[in-house]
Structure 1
Amino acid sequence: MASVKSKILVVGGTGYLGRHVVAASARLGHPTVALVRDTAPADPAKAALLKSFQDAGVTLLKGDLYDQASLVSAVKGADVVISTLGSLQIADQTRLIDAIKEAGNVKRFFPSEFGLDVDRTGIVEPGKSILGGKVAIRRATEAAGIPYTYVVAGYFAGYGLPNIGQLLAQGPPTDKAVVLGDGDTKVVYVEEGDIGTYTVLAADDPRAENKTLYIKPPANTLSHNELLSLWEDKTGKTFQREYVPEEAVLKQIQESPIPVNIILSIGHAAYVRGEQTGFEIDPAKGVDATELYPDVKYTTVDEYLNRFL
C-alpha cells in the first residue's frame, strides 16, 4: 500500500453512485477533487450536496467532460481518476481516456462500471448493447496503456432491496412476490457506500492494478427465495411467490418499452442466468474485494432490510 494517499479525481461525483465515491475518498484521507460543471448550482439539493463535499474537505473543480482543455487540466492534478458517469455518457469516456493520455501522469483509471462483468456476460438485448459501450471503454483503456481497475459490484442495494428483489415493484410485497426463474440463483447486493469504500481502497493497491475488482460480500450473496424468506422472518408474514419461467421473462423483455426492457434484461442475466455469482474469479484477471479488505465492515442485507420495517 502507498504511504502517501493518492490524489483522486471523481468525474460524475454528483450522481447516484458518484457521491458515495467522493465521500469515501474524503473519509479515507485522500486529497479529493470532484469535477463539476457548476460550483454554485441553483438546484437546492445539488447545492447542499456540494456543500457536504466541501465540508468533508473535497475540492470542487469547475470543468466539463466536453471541454478538453479543462478536462486535461483537471486530470493533470490527479494520481487516480474514478469515473462514475451515468449510462448516457459511457461512450463519452473516450474523452476522459484522451485527457489521461495527454496528461501522462495518472497511475490508475476506474471507468464507470459497478454492475455486471461486461467481459463475461451473455446478457440479452437491450442490455447487451448498453453494456457493449462499457466493453468498448475497457478496450480503449487497455489500448491506451492506462493502468486500470474495473469494479464489478452486482446490484446496488438501493435498487434491489427496497422492493425485496422484485425488479418492477415500487416497494416490498404486500401479498405476493414476483420471482424471475426458480428463485434459487444467487445474486449479490451491495450498499452504495460500501461500493465507494472498496473502490477507493483499491485505488492505491497494486494488487488491483490491471484487474477486475469483484465486490461479492458473502453475507450479501443470496437467492431471491432466501431474500424473501429473510423478509418473511422479519415481518412475520408469508407471501405467495409467483415464479416467472425464463421463456416468459424473455418474452416480456421483447414486448416491454424502455426502460422496463433494460431492467428486465439485467434481471434475467442476474436472477436467471446467475451472472453475478456463477463463476470463479480468475486470479490472473480479478481480485475479491472482501478478501483484499477483510476489515471493512460492510452493510449486510439483513441490516439493510431493517430500514423498511
Structure 2
Amino acid sequence: MAKSKVLVVGGTGYIGRRIVRASLAEGHITYVLQRRELGLDIDKLQMLLSFKKQGARLIEGSFSDHQSLVDAVKQVDVVICTMSGVHFRSHNLLLQLKLVDAIKQAGNIKRFLPSEFGTDPARMGHALEPGRVTFDEKMTVRRAIEDAKIPYTYVVANCFAGYFAANLSQMETLLPPKEKLNIYGDGNVKVVYMDEDDVGLYTIKTIDDPRTLNKTLNIRPPENILSQRELVEKWEKLSGKELQKISISEKDWIASMKGLDLAGQVGVTHFYHFFYEGCLTNFEIGEEGEEASKLYPDVKYTRMDEYLKLYL
C-alpha cells in the first residue's frame, strides 16, 4: 500500500519539527505549511528551508485565507496540526476550526490529527480553572471534527521529557536542580514521561494504521510510567548526588497560584492534575483507544535514565 502524503501544520514548532522529521524518515511525501505571516522570523524560515533540503515540500497558506488552506489540504491524504496550546508561548488551538472547515470542503482527507499531544481532554471535564481552557478548547475542536465526519486520530503523549523529566518535574527550570527540589505530595503518583522524538515517530506510525482510525492513541509505554520519586532516584543514581526533597501538600500547591500570571496559574493547575490527581495513569485504556508501544513494539522508545544522561 502506498504511503499517505502528509501535510504538517505548525511544522516549525516544538513537536511539529519532530513530526516532520519522522514523516520524512518513514518515507512519506511530506508537505509543511509555510504561513504567509512568517514576516521576519528568520529562525522559522531557516527551519523550513532545512526541511526542504531534507526532501519536504513547502506549501504556502494562511489561516486568514480559507481557499489557501483548501488548496493545501487537497494536495495530501493526511493532515497533522501541531499548533501551540501552551500559554507561556502562544495559544492558538481554536484556529484549528478554520482548518477543519478547509478539510471538510476539500473532502479528500483520509485522516486528521489535531493538535493534542498532551493530556486526554475527554478525561478532563473536571479540570481546574484557569488551566481547563486548554482541555475545553481541544474538545471544541474534537466536536467540530466529529460533526464534520472527518476521519481522525487523537494523540495523547502525556509529559514531554524536555519540560518534565530533565528538570525532575520542577516548574521554573528546564535543567536538573543542583541542591533541592519540590516533591508533589508523597511523590508516588504515576505519570508518563516521553522523549519528544519518540512522540513524533509514534504519531507518524498511526497515520496509515486502520487500528487507530477514529481512535485515541495513548503513548504510555510501560517503562516510562514513573512516579516523580522514581524519576528523581534515576537522576541521583546517574549524578551520584542526593538532593534535598521538599514535600508540598496539595493545599499548598494550589495556594501557590496566588500572584502568578495566567501562564503560571495554568501551569500550577496542570501540575496538580498530573502529580496529585494522577490523571495520566488513573484509568484503563478502553475500546476508544490504543496504546502505542503495544501497537508498535518495533519502536525502541527512550527510557528516562537514558534521556537524563544528556544532562550530566
TM-score (structure 2 length as normaliser): 0.95
8 Å CA contact 1:123, 1:268 repeated in 2: no
- Counterpart of 1:75, as a letter, is V
- Counterpart of 2:66, as a letter, is Q
Q: CA deviation at 1:10?
A: 0.6
In 2: Cα distance, 1:255 partner to 1:187 partner: 27
8 Å CA contact 1:39, 1:62 repeated in 2: no
In 1: Cα distance, 2:9 partner to 2:48 partner: 14
Can you list the C-alpha shifts for 1:256-287, whole angstroms capped at 9, x where unaligned?
222111111111111111011111000x2000
Q: CA deviation at 1:242?
A: 0.6
Q: CA deviation at 1:51?
A: 2.4
Question: What is the match of residue 116 of structure 1?
Answer: 119
Q: 1:81 aligns with which of 79, 82, 87?
A: 79
Q: CA deviation at 1:167?
A: 2.0
Indicate yes or no: 2:204 matched with 1:200.
yes
Q: Secondary structure at the match of 1:165?
A: coil
Q: CA deviation at 1:168?
A: 2.3
Superposed, 1:22-171 pairs within 5 Å as: 22-38=20-36, 42-87=40-85, 88-121=91-124, 122-171=126-175
Q: CA deviation at 1:182?
A: 1.4
- Counterpart of 1:54, as a letter, is K
Q: CA deviation at 1:197?
A: 0.6
Q: CA deviation at 1:174?
A: 1.6
Q: Which moved more, 1:160-169 or 1:139-148?
A: 160-169
Question: What is the match of residue 88 of structure 2?
Answer: none
Question: What is the match of residue 295 of structure 2?
Answer: 292
8 Å CA contact 2:31, 2:56 repeated in 1: yes
Identify if the C-alpha distance between structure 1 residues 230 and 220 changes in structure 2 by more than 3 Å, giving closer, same or farther: same
Q: Which moved more, 1:43-52 or 1:21-30?
A: 43-52
Identify if the C-alpha distance between structure 1 residues 90 and 39 changes in structure 2 by more than 3 Å, giving closer, same or farther: closer
In 2: Cα distance, 1:132 partner to 1:200 partner: 25
8 Å CA contact 1:160, 1:166 repeated in 2: yes
Question: What is the match of residue 309 of structure 2?
Answer: 306
Q: Secondary structure at the match of 2:122?
A: coil
In 1: Cα distance, 2:270 partner to 2:264 partner: 10
Question: What is the match of residue 260 of structure 2?
Answer: 256
Q: 2:248 aligns with which of 244, 247, 260?
A: 244
Please provide the CA RMSD for this pair: 1.5
In 2: Cα distance, 1:170 partner to 1:148 partner: 33
Q: Secondary structure at the match of 1:238?
A: coil
Structure 2 gaps of 5+ residues are: 86-90
TM-score (structure 1 length as normaliser): 0.95
Q: CA deviation at 1:40?
A: 8.7
Q: CA deviation at 1:243?
A: 0.8
